[in-house]
Amino acid sequence: MKFILPRCMNLVGGFEVKKAVLKYFLLFAFLFLSVWASDASAMEYNIMPVNPAMVAPFVLLLLAIALIPFINVHWWEKRYPLVSFGLGVVVVIYYFFILHNGPRMVGTALEYFSFIALIGSLFVVSGGIHIRIKGRATPVANVILLAIGAIIANLLGTTGASMVLIRSYIRTNKYRISGYHIVFFIFVVSNIGGMLTPLGDPPLFLGYLKGVPFFWVIGRVWLIWLIANAAVLLIFYIIDRHNYKKMPDALEREVEKKGEHPIVEGIHNAVFLLVIIGAVFLPEPIREITMIGAAVASYFTTKRKIHERNEFNFIPLKEVVILFAGIFATMVPALDWLELNAGSIGVTTLAQFYWGAGVLSSFLDNAPTYLSFLTAAFGLHGLNVDNAAHMEAMLGMLSPHDLAHLKTLHSSMVQPITSYSWKYIQAISAGAVLFGANTYIGNGPNFMVKSIADQAKVKMPTFIGYMVKYSIPILMPIFAVIWYLFFR
């Protein structure tokens, strides 16, 4: 059985292609509505003890994502759907037929559809915007472009901002493009920049789905965002300035003088971006259907030549849809085990949550890592992450009277709920988003950006080279300063 979408999905135009695209959009919407209608109250489920061995599918899937593409990329390209779906089915069967806790998986399915609706709609709409920048590829110009990317990443998402800007960024630097240009783009636009809103990075959107208010994030992490981005951009400027001055004088003058003719095509898609942003505030399933509708409208109203100039296709989105189906299913036992055993695993301090969520987000996907540590933080306080009152208590939003009468999961809490318990969510949010920049596999856009750079013949560092030359010596000291200032 083949799980690969039809070959025509790799293309961008033509009547048959558009029919196929519409079919899959409608299929996704139908599946979401079916799951939602089958048990709209599935989010109210019991957390039941699980066999620790059932965490194995989750670990195996994440190790496969991290390692197999670098061992045998051709085998992985053909077999990753089988690996993802196969391991996911193991967990689904366990919950439905052994634990008899089907509502738990139904609730997870709803979260998965919501997650893909946001990521997919941003990917499709941003693919319909073509930007060509007039300007000089000077160090200052590059810093300004990356800073703008860091801001719009909170509106378009790190995936959307990366897809909109990366090709323009490469074209603007075509006279002197190097691997470090792409690495710092990944640092800022694809990761750190998207820390301020749930739209910015997938982990924060999962937190929003769990009940973290939309504007709570920016109020608690804006200073961390500012320090991290300012430090990374300063280091980038120093490196870029050094390399810029090494250019021959004639070429430097040519770069100073020339710039591409500026053009923005597909500007009507900005309307669809606003629709997606507004839809975040709607209830499900209206939220997801609106996002899907915006993506369909964007795709069918965008001229084929714009998609072609952006080299747009559905291959990256297809991979995300398939892999995250397996990730969302297999992570459920790990999340449940963490929630029921948070006090016994020794992760209790803010520093441990910051570094733990961060280090794992470097090598695993930062979205499920965020959710795992969020669940552990709630379990550490005797709370359920899916309980609205518990979420308000953790965020410090309950009155003293309500807090005194709050029912917890167990009587002997490892950590009491205080007015500073929200800092656990702050630490997890910062760790998951920041450390996602440490490797190519830490966050979804990272590998997409690398793939586009490879196609543009940019010499990129290897998986190990990325870490040894860039993320460890540059990012880790910055992250250590943030730990010292906020979480020690």
* For residue 6, pLDDT beyond 50: no
Contact assessment for residue 120 and residue 9, using Cβ atoms and an 8 Å cutoff: no
Report yes or no on 442 lying in a domain. yes
Using CA atoms, how far residue 341 sits from 108, 381, 443, in Å, is 20, 11, 27
Residues ≥6 apart with Cβ < 8 Å to 483:
351, 354, 355
Q: Which residue has the higher pLDDT, 374 or 337?
A: 374
* pLDDT tens profile 57-74: 988 987 888 788 778 888
Phi and psi angles of residue 71, each rounded to the nearest 5 degrees, phi first: -100, -50
Which band of pLDDT confidence, cut at 50, 70 and 90, is reported for residue 1?
very low
* pLDDT tens profile 394-425: 888 877 666 666 776 664 556 788 878 899 99
Per-residue pLDDT at 273? 86
Long-range contacts of 453-460 (CB under 8 A, 24+ apart): 453/166, 453/170, 453/179, 453/182, 455/311, 456/167, 456/170, 456/177, 458/170, 458/177, 458/178, 458/179, 458/181, 458/182, 459/178, 459/179, 460/179, 460/182
- Cα 149 to Cα 170: distance, rounded to the nearest angstrom: 14
- Cα 158 to Cα 154: distance, rounded to the nearest angstrom: 7
Phi and psi angles of residue 263, each rounded to the nearest 5 degrees, phi first: -160, 140
Per-residue pLDDT at 398? 79
Q: How many domains does the chain have?
A: 1
Report yes or no on 200 lying in a domain. yes
Report yes or no on 62 lying in a domain. yes
Phi and psi angles of residue 367, each rounded to the nearest 5 degrees, phi first: -70, -55
Per-residue pLDDT at 408? 67
- The SS3 assignment for 435 reads helix
Q: What's the average model confidence in pLDDT over 262-272?
A: 87
Report yes or no on 305 lying in a domain. yes
Contact assessment for residue 169 and residue 185, using Cβ atoms and an 8 Å cutoff: yes
Q: What's the average model confidence in pLDDT over 268-285?
A: 86
Residues ≥6 apart with Cβ < 8 Å to 71:
none
Report yes or no on 429 lying in a domain. yes
Report yes or no on 167 lying in a domain. yes
* pLDDT tens profile 115-135: 888 878 888 898 898 877 665
- Cα 310 to Cα 117: distance, rounded to the nearest angstrom: 22
Per-residue pLDDT at 202? 83
* For residue 250, pLDDT beyond 80: no
* For residue 272, pLDDT beyond 90: yes
**What pTM was computed for the model?**
0.76
Which band of pLDDT confidence, cut at 50, 70 and 90, is reported for residue 257?
low
Domain that holds residue 131: 14-486
Report yes or no on 177 lying in a domain. yes
Report yes or no on 6 lying in a domain. no
Per-residue pLDDT at 297? 93
Half-sphere exposure (Cβ direction) of 397: Cα atoms closer than 13 Å: 11
